[in-house]
Amino acid sequence: MKYKTRIEKIFRAWTERDWDYVANGLAEDFTFTSPYDDQLNKKDFKEKCWNTIKEIGTFEIVTIVESETEAFVRYKNKINGEKVQNTEQFIFEGDKLKEVVVFFGLPE
């Protein structure tokens, strides 16, 4: 799998709260979209998504499905005391992460 190790490192950086690692892997025109957010840029992504996390568990990656320039990842975790089970679409451009689209799900 082309992106599996990279995705695992991104999730590990979230767990270890290593913003520099995450930020260095984002394209200049990176965007983040979720049911609550429409194409946040890097600055707004950090402010709204990164800075609001007070506690985060270890990501349990359930599934990774890849194509040439993207990967879908389903995972479970506990963030700020709430169980989550989400799917994220990672779209890559060269060696940078260009876009993430999150689909929220109900935890088991």
DSSP character string of 60-92: EEEEEEE-SSEEEEEEEEEETTEEEEEEEEEEE
pLDDT for res 105: 82
Considering only CA atoms, which of 94, 76, 93 is closest in space to residue 85?
76
Residue 27 confidence (pLDDT) above 80: yes
Could you tell me whether strands 60-66 and 96-105 are parallel, antiparallel, or unpaired per DSSP bridges?
unpaired
**Alpha carbon distance 13, 51 (integer Å):** 14
Establish how many alpha carbons lie within 13 A of residue 2's alpha carbon, considering only the half-sphere containing its beta carbon.
Answer: 14
Neighbours of 92 (CB within 10 A): 20
Per the structure, the count of domains in the chain is: 1
What single DSSP character describes residue 35? T
CATH code of the domain covering residue 59? 3.10.450.50
pLDDT for res 80: 96
Domain assignment of residue 45, given as a range? 4-105
**Alpha carbon distance 49, 2 (integer Å):** 26
pLDDT for res 108: 67
Question: What residues form DSSP beta bridges with 98?
Answer: none
pLDDT digits (tens, 9 = 90+) for 49-104: 999 999 999 999 999 999 999 999 999 999 999 999 999 999 999 999 999 999 99
